Structure 1
């Protein structure tokens, strides 16, 4: 009996421990919360919400309940929720200019707004905003002012570059353009001052991946990373560095193929040359890396020259060589590419060959509701254009059923509208 008692106490303590880790919400009015904040010499965190607001509920259930959020906020703020739909809160929502939900406002104990967050954000972003509100961290604007005063401070430059994308995404119109221009000019300045040979660390590698997103014919950054692959791989991890370099190189090869520039063949030579160690991390079934990439590049070159037969021949050779290592995207990407290049107007032969690829793509376990819906829509289009309206209708109906499983409601509705239009066009 005593053992059961201790077990119950232990379970209760565990539950209470979890509850205490989340944000503790003040039970009372806004004015009462403000008064309590003054008494405890804390600031106020106000979650403006409405019962009908899905993102508000998500913040409350998935972010406010996290341990690190609760520990940080409970120590510094009186936290209160304000339902904007109730009559007694309408003046408060108006006072703090709440025009969208969710809106979370940090307010000083004298009622002055310190900072606000609009929309749902992850826990780490919410904590960062709270630190800015309390003065524990600088805002992006303050950080930029610090940079203007200390232009040689590489740490400040690095921090600006890392934080810029998230900050710029919150800006609109002229402000977004202004900050985008400023940061665009900061990267080459930072690169010049820091020097690529000193960037074999995680923070600087992140900066490189954020701002050097495309390779070119004369590319000292890419070439230095390739020549010093082992050095960077040791500090950052082989997988991360290899994926970055391969992505840059493959994208550049594809760009050359699309433009009809035969220099793509010369670029391919590097795969077995100075990039051999980089590409050694990747497998293509029975194909060597060189052969696999050559087939894909030749197929892309042929597609953009409207050489349909060579395109299918090269892709089928790629699928055959890769064998059971073939992945969903191996089929999905060329299906999308041919639809774009031919603007949805393929030959009957091409439609029939695409039907075979779509059927194979649909056999993968990881297709997912969204991709399954799109593939079934493609199948319907191909069947319709080969004159098999009965099977096309069946495929469109299957696509409609699959779309019901898509979590993003806007995407689901858009796809369902497209399916209905396709059915009406039969």
Structure 2
């Protein structure tokens, strides 16, 4: 990292760096774990990838900031771990890491104290606040001798199914669905760490019966793997149920998916996911007016930002032929572009006008969008092709 100079407990080892007293280790889990044990500190593992923009932002704004490093140095060793380079230490496999950045905190004995999927924020103030809230919470949990009981402090790669190893190692990123389903169906429960980890990673491909297995002993899974991860897994399973119902256009399966969600997930999850699946279901039924009514309630409540309105209206342009809905979206995009006339919004507005048959206004808005594209260094080719059709 640019503000760090390299040091080490061993002069021949250049993997560890020390700046503002925070010890930072690049990739070497064994060294980081030994340092955490020796210093009686927590180990903060920052799982990142080389292509992940939020990871780079987190690193630049937070982990390279001297004041934050000084705060973290009191309680932590920091391990920066490339999650897609997992063939040596197998941390991504052990902790089923598939979204980035992911943070995991281990106690000095190597047991999981806490984990977090992503840090909300887009500047130093909000990102650093997110990180420090997480690290303070983790310190408090450790002071209470709390840890997530289901995860051991050792790693044995041979206990994972081969398709999981190959997928995480990126040697085969297209595992056979039959292999995944066969593995899952062979288990009576998922109390064993490696079984739970594999199920979590491929939860969206799990057969419907798995939901009943997890729901039956939900409290025990909470105790073993924490409420957060178990609810994420139940969300994956619920998503699979909804997607199957939507693909098959099966009302009974859709109703069962709703029932499963209400019976297994907390109210926050229910309030978050049921409306989106309801919209997907209505779209599959081509009930676009009902879809719009759901969105309209959110807009009237102030829950829709300009970007989401633009996304909704573009979806209507691509998939909906109901002229009443198209007209309503045109009104929305006029409102949006009156206050924020950028290229992306004007582009959607122009295409909706074209679909409505209003050639005069299509030409006017398309030309405005093309001018804005030039200012924003965007490519207006699709709009130019649209004008040729008029």
Q: TM-score, normalised on structure 1? A: 0.47
* Structure possessing the higher radius of gyration over alpha carbons: 1
Task: Identify the structure with bigger relative contact order (alpha carbons < 8 Å, sequence gap 6+).
Answer: 2
Q: TM-score, normalised by structure 2?
A: 0.50
Structure number having the greater helix percentage: 1
